[in-house]
Structure formats: structure tokens, C-alpha cells
Structure 1
Amino acid sequence: MSQESTPALPQRALEALTAQIAGTVCTPGDADYAREVSAFNLRSRTRSALVVAATTSDDVQAAIRFATAHGLGVGVLSTGHHPYPPNTSDGSLLITTRAMRAVHIDPATATARVEAGALWGDVVGPAQRYGLAPLNGSSAGVGVVGYTLGGGLSPVLGRAYGWAADHVRAIAVVTADGALRHVTEQSDPALFWVLRGGGSNFGVVTALEFSLFPVNTFYGGGIFHPAERAESVLHAYRQVAAQAPDELTVSVALLNFPPLPQIPELLRGRFVVHVRVAYLGADTEAEELIAPLRAVGTPLADTIGRRGYDTFAEVHQDPTEPAPYEDRSVLLTELTPGGVAAVLDRVGPASASAVTVLEIRHLAGALGREPRLPSATGARDAAFMVWGAVVGPPDVVDAGIDRMNSLLKDLTPWSTSRLYQNFTSREAVAADVFDPPVLARLRRIKQQYDLGNVFRAHNRNIPPALSPHARASTAPAQVTSRPSSDSVLVTTTQQPDSGSAGTSITR
């Protein structure tokens, strides 16, 4: 630990914390600090006053108790794919979970138990030894816990089985009082509901247990079409999506590749249309369903075929190296010819757009149905998600994001008016994600478990719904609002009295 302690954190207190932690404690003056706060999104910067690189749940408990004792907000970081909301990390305590990557597969119950830092690549391989698969995302390098707490949209299994959060069975979480809780539907229904879809607003999850599914192969891959076929492909995509059974997931991406040497020569410096396919039925059935996408013409490349589930990442071919990027998204009730025209006009091959990738992903199916165990996950009323990202230096990102903002405005007539939490922009707030009744319930549960709003860093903060008594017993809140939203971000400037509701919870 560096001798350059943050002035607000006494050296003796930091030394006492370090003595309790099996992992690493570091401050901005430490050599380890930059490594610990690094994120996959290189535009994400933290200004945390203190970092605890946790290796056990005991480390997480000690860190949270220290934060509450010293009035620090708490954030958590695994891989950092999702952009940090601005100005939420200042003076906070950041808990990193990268060292906590244990995974246990139980084939008898078809479940996985993973620690907080596990990546999807850590889970898929071991699960496949038993012919089982999780509801993972498109990349092997994404963290399991953050993905699942935000809902968890699988581009292979989601339309058939639903959101990953809907299939969580148990959660180990450290709440604001420093208690490690084993949360299930039976033990604590409110906390179980809110953690599955509410993000990192209610505690630091140290382990998850969730269901696996009997899938070891699927029929899928990608078709790359040249730029001049973009309009034909998008209209064929509308046709395929309209008749798709739940077992079929098809997305399409407009890719604007820069002329970089690490990009395959076939695609380097080109605008291409990438169709992504995953089908859980027979090969012949899949070919009949996607026939309109093949009828548009001979592709540049075609990787579709029967493949092992452990090759899932080859479908989307997401980047594996950190990069600086910003993104925007919108959920749509339908994909109309007008929507397609707007996409082509703003980011199509003739638009001179700086947008690097614009994906249209089909949702619906099981993603649109209420699960057996309700959760806080939203986006069930959406049929499609449009998501765009801009990679590059600041001037390129700014130009691309301006273009994405224009596109989202054009798509407003078909928007659900909400966003999917795991694909929100850096500036998005909780009210952009949750419907008002759901957000009100989230705030009531936040009041019960985190009245002091300890978990306010690195997230789209959900402030507690303060009761009249709580408001009288706390200092005035510091409020930040955004002109385009009816929500507020609240950071209490004083911890509530020890007798206030939610500060000491026992079972």
C-alpha cells in the first residue's frame, strides 16, 4: 500500500483494513492501482480513493464495513465492458473481483455455482463436459455476475429459455451492513427479486448459482455480405424474424471496419453486413428458415454450420482486446420498413458514418414472457434492440455518437421508451431502464437494505425511497438530475442513524 494516503482516509485506518484483507489494498499512489482499475472499455476512468482487490467474500465484507465507517460510496468491477456512468466513482471505494473465478458444475442438478470474477469462458467449457450450457452472452470474456445482474441476454439460447436472471437459483451477496447473505426465493423474496435485474445497487454479489440447459451443439455462425446489399439484407432479416420460432435467433450488424492490420484482409477497411445465426433445431429446418438471407446473393464469407456450443463466440466475433468506445441503444416494439430506412440513412454504407457497429437483435420469444420466478429484469415488451458502438479516438467517437443520437431520435415512433440495462449508454439513468412502478419498488427495497445509498459508485444509481422519519434523521441529500429524465441521483452526505430502517438487518 502506498504511503500517499488519500487525506480523508487516515493511514492507521488503511493499515487496519490492509491487515484484514487477503487480497490487495491500494490507493491512487500505488503501482497496483492502475492495473486494478483498468477496464475493457478504455474510455472508462475511475477516480476511486481506494481499491480492494478481493479474493474472498471476507475481503468484500471488510471493504464494505470500512466504506460505511468512512462515508465512502462503493462500486464493484470485474471486466469493465459496460461504460461507467460519469462522476460516480469520485472518492469511492472500488471492489475488484477478478481474483474470484472459481466455477463448480453440478451435473446432477444441472446448475453452476460461480464466484464474482468468473467469465463466461470459465463456465462454458466445464459445463460442456456434461452436455450443459449456460445462458451466456456473445463474448467469452464478459463477467458472469455483472451480465446476469443486468438481466443477461443470450444470443444463442435467450429466445428459447429467457433472460439469464430468470434462471438464478441462489445468490451470495454482501449488503450495506457488511452481512454475507445467502439469498433465495424462500429466504428473502424481495432481495432475490431485486438483485436479478437491479444491477449492483443493492450489494456486492460474491457468488451466483444458476440453471444450465441440455445443449451441446447448435446450427449457426455468420454470413458476411458486401455493403451494396445492406438494404436487401435488412428487409430479408425482417422477413426471417417475423417467422422465427423461439429456437432461432438472428441478428444483423452493419460493420464499418477500419484499415487495421489485425483485421482479416477480406474485411479490412470495408463496410460489410454481418448476419448472425443460432438455431437449436435440425440443420435442414434452419436452412429453410434463413433462406431469404441467402437469397440476397453470394456472400463474402459464410461460417454457418453445425458447431459445438463451446464455439459460441465465433458467431458474433466480438473484439477480445480492450478498446475506447461509447455506445447507444433503443428497444423497439417492431422493425418496420421506416425503421430500416432510418438505419440506412444514418449509418448505412452511403452515410459516411463513423459508427463502427450497428446491430439489430431479435428479442421476443421467451424473453418476452413472464418467468416462473419474477425478477426486476425489464425489456420484456421489446421485439428488437438496436445497438450501436463507436470505437476510436475522441473526435471519431464524438462524430459517431452524434450520428447514433440522430438515429435513435428517428426510431422514436417504434421505441418502447425504455432501455435494456446491459446495453445502456454512459449517460443513462435508472429511469431510462425501469418503468415507474418497478423503479418505485426498487427504491423501497433499496430503503430497506441500503438506506445510506452506499452502493452508488459505477452504477446507474437507484436512490432509496426515504421515509419521512429517515429524511428527518439524515442530512440533506446531494441531488444530480439530467434534463431528459425524470429521475434523480441521490448521494447522502451523512449516514443514517443506527436505528434507522435498513441499517441493521438480521434473519
Structure 2
Amino acid sequence: MTLYDTAGPASLSRAEIADLTAQVAGPVVLPDDAGYQDECATFNLMTPVRPAVAVGATSAADVQAAVRFAAGRDLPVAVLATGHQVVRSAEGAVLLNMSRMNAVHVDPTRNLARVEGGVRWRQVLPETDKYGLAPASGSSPTVGVVGYHLGGGLSPVLGRMHGYAADHVQALEIVTADGELRQVTPSSEPDLFWALRGGKSNFGVVTALEFALFPLKHFYGGGLFFAGEYAAKVLHTWRNWVVGLPPEMTSSIAFLRRPPRPEMPEPLRGTFVMHVRFSSLQPQEEAERLLAPIREIAPTVMDTITELPYSMAGKVHMDPPNPVPWVERAAALRDFPREAADALLAAVGPDSGARLVLVEIRALGGALERPPAVPNAVAGRSVRWQVVGLGAGSPDQIPVFQEQLKNVVDAVAPWAQNEMYANLLTAGQGTTPEELRAIYGHERYDRLAAIKKRYDPRNLFRMNHNITPA
């Protein structure tokens, strides 16, 4: 089974490319041109893209020109900001590389940030930190800010206190399939504003995004690492403990198998450990009081919990800072009882023989369950737990990883639900209209499909978890 759905090859003449090149300030490259591989590079090395032509956008005007070029030839448009979440290989498409659009502006008087379409969190956090402000950013500083918000945005520090990042978007600029640049707010285009926040990249190319910031300079957090022999005790203790945390505190737990590579911290190199991730907006004394039951489980292999500037929030999860090849699967759970934990231990625990580098269980709840002040299309607010599995290695290992990821999903299937958080979807997951309808729920999906028909009736933006026009 292929990881991608293809659009078929598109043949573009040099004359057509010369015409497009004359309209944009950024580079325009074909598959045989120098620079094509760099323009198409993804963060997930297991998901390459192979468009008919790649355009390095430098402005909204470049994006408009490229979208009009594609629309005039009935070619699909693919958007690449960071390449963390690639669904299709973009064959036959016009690819827009947004990485050059990386301006960040912070307005401390209104607690707002405005970013261009290619900005990553690592470019935002130092700027907001200057003013003692924090966005509802994710676990990895290399993730793209726009794509993160379009899929919901789940912060491992601020999410349970303030909800999904998409709930705090104030305005967007987007180039739609007709090539128009639209200013989208709750009052200017209410339906599109609703759909963009949760509906992913189905409605156009977002060239700028404005979102709220929260007063926060530091938090208390990090990770506790336990030897794999304690996996069952750690998982069951954590499962009972985490449900009693206040919304100011967030925790997840991960089965980690770290390769014996020099870049790995010495205590973790080549080992299997249980990683309890933790963050607290409350004072250290209160956080440590609540952490006591976890610290008492067993001696730690490594302890990174300390006071951290919010700009260093990536230290909680310690996601890879450089591109790596991986495949993943995810599931959304209504509940995570003892039986589910035991099933997961059988699938990926110390005696399972599993080779997955990570299987994480996230405890949600708090503000993530509440509807936002301005409604949006974010799905899965009823989800209480998320399970994410990841296999990383060479392409020849994909079949093994896929089988073991299936084992993980099957293990928790009795407690799973269809509706889930869109940013967890991967290639091959949620790629048919029927699957997406289940993931979004019928009413939400029908509204998204109707809005899609209004703004993208020919489905130009289909190199994604595609919502087809109604």
C-alpha cells in the first residue's frame, strides 16, 4: 500500500515556467533544476514531495501568482511550511514553499502576535519572551505556526488552562482558489473564519496569522525518566495520578526506545525508558507536592524537571531538533482504564519486542473540553486521552513499523472513538471522505464541505486531509 495518493504527472513547458517566473520574486524550479530538492525538503524524511513545479514564495503576491497559475491549468496546489505533516506526495502539483515568509511581529499592548505563513515556533518564542508573553505553542519548536493552528494546536503547557491554540486566533490572511487575498475575521468572513480554525489547509494558503498571547515568563516542568523494567508500575501509577491534576498542570507519558547514537544524552543512549512529561503553571512547591507519588515509584535514570523560561518549553518533550525519517499512527480514547494500559504494555512494553521509538499517552481535559468563545471547526473536544506511536529508521523498516503501529492502535481500539484532533492525522489516516467524516463528525464535516464548495469548488487544495466540496 502506498503512503500517498497521487494527482498524476503534469507536464509544464519552459515557456509556462518562464511566465510564472516573471510574476514571482522567489525561485521557481522544475524537477531537473538545481535547487529543486532543497525547495521540496520535508522535516519528515519518510514523506518526500515531488511536485510538477516548486515556488519559493516571498510574499502574498507570490502566493497569488502561483495559485492563479495553478488554477488556470487546473493543477492542485500543495503548501509546504515545515514538512512535519505531509499527507500526499504532491505529484503533478504546484508546490508553495512558505519558509521565506518568516516575519514575526509582537504587539505587547494588545497581547497579540502576527506571523507570516512560513514561521516556526522557534522564531516566535524568543520574540514573545522579550515581553513576558507566551503563545499556546506545541511540543516542538520546529513545527510551523500556521499549520499547527489550522489543525487545532495542542499546547503541552497552556492547553489544559486555555484550550486549543485555534481558539485564540484573531485574524488570518489567506489566498483562496480564485487568487484573491482575503482578510478573514469573525466579522468579515465568519464561515471561513470558523472553517480555517480546525479545517486544516483545505480552504487556501494562509499568508499571515494573528493570535493571542498570555502573560507568562516561566513555568515549572521537564521530565522524569524511569528504567523500562518499571514500565508497568510507572504507567499504572501515572494513569491514576494524572486524572487528579488541576488544569494548571499537564502531563503525558511515553515509552521511549532511544538509539545508541552520540546525540542521545548518555543516560538514555541505547535504552528503553518510561518518560513522564510534566508542566506546571503553579509555584514549584505546589508542583513538587503533587509530583511526589510519581517520584516515589522508583529511582530515576534522568530528571530534567526545573524552572524553565517559556521560550525553552521544547525541553519538556525533547523532540528531535533536526529532520528525521518516521511513520506514525494515533488514536483518540474516551477512557484509559487498567485494561487499556495492560493492552498497551503487551504491545510496546519491555517484553513486547517492539522497535517503535515512541508511544505516548497524553491526558487532556480541562479547557480543551470547553467550546471556545468564538466557535470553530476543531474536532475531538470530548477526547480525554490521546495515544501517538512513532517508528523512526530507514525505509526498509517501514513494514515492521507499520505492523507495530497497527498493534498499538488495535490494543486500545476498545476504548477509542472516531472523532479526533486533526493534527494527529498522518499519511494513510483520515485520507478518504468517509474517514474524515467520522473524524470530524457528520454535522461539522457537512458544514466544512459546504464552505469548501464556496471557496474551492474545483478542490484545488487537495494535497491534504481533504474535505471534498459538497
Fold match, TM over 0.5? Answer: yes
The sequence identity of aligned pairs, in percent, is 45
Tell me if 1:461 matches 2:466.
yes
CA contact (8 A) 1:381 1:416 kept: no
Please state whether the residue corresponding to 1:411 is helix, strand or coil: helix
CA contact (8 A) 2:167 2:376 kept: yes
> 2:420 corresponds to which letter in structure 1?
L
CA offsets 1:246-271 (integer angstroms, 9 cap, x no match): 11100111101112222122111110
Show the 5 A alignment for 1:290-329.
290-329=291-330
Structure 2: gaps (5+ residues)? 1-8, 431-435
Show the 5 A alignment for 1:94-133.
94-133=95-134
> 2:135 corresponds to which letter in structure 1?
P
CA offsets 1:443-483 (integer angstroms, 9 cap, x no match): 000010010101012x1111101xxxxxxxxxxxxxxxxxx
Counterpart Cα distance in 2 of 1:35 and 1:21: 18
Shift, 1:240, TM fit: 2.0
Partner of 1:47: 50
Please state whether the residue corresponding to 1:40 is helix, strand or coil: coil
Correspondent of 1:76 among 63, 74, 79: 79
CA offsets 1:56-76 (integer angstroms, 9 cap, x no match): 000000000000001100010
Partner of 2:62: 59
Partner of 2:4: none
Tell me if 1:338 matches 2:335.
no
Correspondent of 1:448 among 454, 462, 466: 454
Show the 5 A alignment for 1:337-486.
337-429=338-430, 430-457=436-463, 459-465=464-470
Shift, 1:10, TM fit: 3.0
Tell me if 1:287 matches 2:288.
yes
Tell me if 1:163 matches 2:175.
no
> 2:53 corresponds to which letter in structure 1?
L
CA offsets 1:297-319 (integer angstroms, 9 cap, x no match): 11011111222111111111000
Shift, 1:409, TM fit: 1.5
Please state whether the residue corresponding to 1:442 is helix, strand or coil: helix
Counterpart Cα distance in 1 of 2:275 and 2:29: 43
Partner of 1:469: none
CA contact (8 A) 2:327 2:391 kept: yes
CA contact (8 A) 1:240 1:290 kept: no
Shift, 1:288, TM fit: 2.0
Please state whether the residue corresponding to 1:312 is helix, strand or coil: helix
Shift, 1:7, TM fit: 6.8
CA contact (8 A) 2:389 2:408 kept: no
> 2:26 corresponds to which letter in structure 1?
G
Counterpart Cα distance in 1 of 2:405 and 2:429: 14
Structure 1: gaps (5+ residues)? 1-5, 466-507
> 1:79 corresponds to which letter in structure 2?
T
Q: CA RMSD in A?
A: 1.2
CA contact (8 A) 2:10 2:52 kept: no
Partner of 1:486: none
> 2:447 corresponds to which letter in structure 1?
R
CA offsets 1:226-261 (integer angstroms, 9 cap, x no match): 001111111121122110111110011110111222
CA contact (8 A) 1:354 1:396 kept: no
Partner of 1:29: 32
Shift, 1:17, TM fit: 1.0
Shift, 1:12, TM fit: 2.1
Counterpart Cα distance in 2 of 1:191 and 1:418: 21
Shift, 1:126, TM fit: 0.8
CA contact (8 A) 1:330 1:418 kept: no
Q: Which runs of 4+ in 1 moved over 6 A?
A: none
CA offsets 1:93-147 (integer angstroms, 9 cap, x no match): 0101000100000000000000011110111111111110001011111110011
Counterpart Cα distance in 1 of 2:37 and 2:75: 20
CA contact (8 A) 1:64 1:176 kept: yes
Shift, 1:432, TM fit: 4.9
Show the 5 A alignment for 1:251-262.
251-262=252-263
Counterpart Cα distance in 2 of 1:198 and 1:319: 27
Question: What TM-score, normalized by structure 2, do the two folds share?
Answer: 0.95
CA contact (8 A) 1:159 1:249 kept: yes
> 2:35 corresponds to which letter in structure 1?
D
CA offsets 1:33-78 (integer angstroms, 9 cap, x no match): 1001110100112221011110000000000000000110001001
CA contact (8 A) 1:111 1:210 kept: yes
Distance 1:247 1:7, change over 3 A: closer
Partner of 2:209: 208
CA contact (8 A) 2:46 2:395 kept: no
Partner of 1:490: none
Counterpart Cα distance in 1 of 2:255 and 2:379: 26
CA offsets 1:304-343 (integer angstroms, 9 cap, x no match): 1222111111111000111111000001112110111011
CA contact (8 A) 1:160 1:246 kept: yes
Counterpart Cα distance in 2 of 1:358 and 1:397: 16
Comparing 440-449 with 263-272, greater Cα deviation is found at 263-272
Partner of 1:149: 150
CA offsets 1:360-415 (integer angstroms, 9 cap, x no match): 11111111110101111111010110001000023433212212212212211211
> 1:365 corresponds to which letter in structure 2?
G
